[in-house]
Amino acid sequence: MKTVYIIALLLLVVGGLNWWLVGFFGFDLVAWLFGDMSSLSRVVYSLVWLSAIFVAYAALTDCNCKK
């Protein structure tokens, strides 16, 4: 479970970086890399969302996934 937690955190960093770029520069890195709303970019956005849900769950519960 620790590996899943680390991957989820890395995906959240990628998502946070992407939103920072969108907010400050109007540049969507994921869309630039994979195409505007292509299947692959939708997968990346969905994985970032799932990572946020997983990390929030781990933070709010006594999850052993961080150890």
**pLDDT for position 63:** 79
Model confidence at 62, pLDDT cuts 50, 70, 90, reads confident
Residue percentage of the chain with pLDDT more than 70: 97
**Average pLDDT of the residues in 21-37:** 94
| pTM, 2 dp | 0.83
Q: Which sign, positive or negative, has the C-alpha torsion 23, 27, 32, 37?
A: positive
The helix/strand/coil state of 21 is helix
